[in-house]
Amino acid sequence: MVVASPSPTHPEKVQFIELPIIDLSAERSKVINLVIKACEEYGFFEVINHGVSHDIITRMEEQGLGFFAKPLGDKQKAGPATPFGYGCKNIGFNGTNSLSIVERSYAISNDPKMFSSAVNGYVEAVTGLACEILELMAEGLRVQDSSVFSKMIKDVDNDSIFRLNHYPPILCNNNNNNKDPSFLANKVGFGEHTDPQILTILKSNDVGGLQVKSQVDDGDHGVWVPVPPHPTAFCVNVGDILQAMTNGRFMSVRHRAMVTNTSKSRMSMAYFGAPPLDTCLTPPIELVTPRKPLLYRPFTWDEYKKASHSLRLGDSRLHLFKAT
């Protein structure tokens, strides 16, 4: 469960820009062009007609919301999140290892078989979706091996994560006497950050809150773009590793979750695709040229993960791996 943080201390601009919504059932070359353009211009996009069934999504939502509806004491029996379990403020459950899911399910659900089945079914489906998107990206970048990105998360030793984040609604404080919606719009649920992994596949219930920092310059603070919830779409975003492996062509963009609703909680279901810890990460040779020299030195996911954990949530990380 994630609890709202204090409001930002400096003035912030919110700009309403529609992120690309890409129909994956459209003609392949058109889809590829749209995906490449979205990764270069926004670092975020949404996909529809993605092949993940409504039943798989609904089962996972029901199991997740059922867990978060329990009393705090019951939820704490599933913790701590080290790394598989329940945590308040830090992170919800995570981990795509099927054995850990089964083991934790006994503390998470009254029907552990149903819970583990829902999680494993959902993770399998979104992993397939992530692989499909990564292969479209490789093809669009004209990389000879179209599996260069996807094979890392297909690897049996992949370090991918599945996480449920729950944002309880904020009730107005009588002392503040606040009926102004802008008071609630400025509560940070999960602070500004980039995702360190390769690719994130996100689905939330019908409650807004996700904001993406626009690449349009606005002094030092940037412009925040709200992403309204879409009833059927998955939100996809580039992670730090993919920025490094595309030699900076794709952008890993800062984003955050805001608490914007006083009557209904928000739950997000996030799959973070990551390679095995010992994977050496460097761009395919097609993406390094005399005109576009290597931006980041080769590094392993283990190195990058440790660097990420040593920094604060909002700190930049990729600059530590710049090629000299």
Q: Establish whether 249 is a catalytic residue.
A: no
Neighbours of 71 (CB within 10 A): 7
What does DSSP say about strands 21-23 and 44-48: parallel, antiparallel, or unpaired? parallel
Contacts of 307 (CB under 8 A, 6+ apart): 317, 320, 321
Q: Active-site residue among 59, 266, 297, 317? A: 266
Residue 213: φ, ψ to 5°: -80, 120
Contacts of 24 (CB under 8 A, 6+ apart): 31, 47, 48, 49, 50, 51, 132
Burial string for 158-181 (b: 16+ CB within 10 Å, else e) reads: bbbbbbbbbbbebeeeeeeeeeee
What distance lies between CA 27 and its chain's CA centroid?
27
Residue 46: φ, ψ to 5°: -115, 150
Cite the active site residues.
Answer: 266
